[in-house]
Amino acid sequence: METPESHFATVGEHKIHYHVVGSGEPLVLLHGGGPGASGWSNYSRNVDALSRDFQLIIPDLIGYGRSDRPHLAGPRFGIYAKYVLGLLDSLGVKRAHVVGNSLGGGTAIKMALDAPERLGRLVLMGPAGLLAPSTPTPTVGTRQIMEFYSGEGPTREKLRTFLQTMIYDSSFLTEELLDQRFAAATQPDLVANPPLGRGGPPPIEALWKENLAGIQNETLILWGREDRVNPMDMHLILLAQVPNAQFTVFTQCGHWVQWERAKAFNSLVASFLRGEMDRN
């Protein structure tokens, strides 16, 4: 599918870039935080299928893609959640389902904690901000994110290594994808001001310490068993505390469930959002 028309909304003092595709109940797709990430690059394999039933709102988080890149100070999930909710305000959307991958998953959790009435159902794919009870951290993927803009700065080989870490099957990594991500990751203002900082731990909240048991939204947790960024054992705290959560694991799959297992992801997510997986 060709990239759909771009739109911009002013949220506070900054512009947020987004796409809108399809019709039906609003569904927000939130991308991850790796170098060169954007809404479209994360979800291009899912738009055709999901837009048949839902109005997809696909933003670039503040600091990513074509959204403004201000200096961000403070824990990121609260910042990202504020801007996504502000985007929904600007569109007149009072309530939406939310799908979030990695950084976007942590943002979705923060939205559910801060404004539960604004969210319908949640789909969380390898979300960040959780505790890994049995896996040493930081993981290899997290270290690669931390190191991408440090040292000699961004290089194509650093990005190739990182993207290979994201996925189980490296045949999914095309030169076209690498070119697109590297161009996006090396914009001068982004290199000068990386959204997750440079060299140190990502400035994100420890969501596992917050009131996860208070999230009443129907929640679908998805993980790739071979995830080398946010390891699969992180799901345990969500499954133990979020009262209406269910969990599915994809074998031979890394951090990008929606990319590597697109067909199964699209079918499962659409079924969940339509309520077809609810208890009878």
Count Cα neighbours of 67 within 13 Å in the Cβ-side half-sphere.
Answer: 31
Nearest Cα to Cα of residue 103 among 123, 76, 137: 76
**Candidates 19, 31, 235, 255; catalytic one:** 255
DSSP state of 233: G
Could you tell me the maximum CA-CA distance found in the chain, to the nearest angstrom? 57
Q: How many CB atoms lie within 10 A of CB 183?
A: 10
Nearest Cα to Cα of residue 246 among 263, 271, 229, 210: 271
Q: How many CB atoms lie within 10 A of CB 199?
A: 11
Using alpha carbons, list the distances in angstroms from residue 44 to 28, 33, 40, 129.
Answer: 14, 16, 5, 25
Q: Is 14 a catalytic residue?
A: no
Residues annotated as catalytic are 255
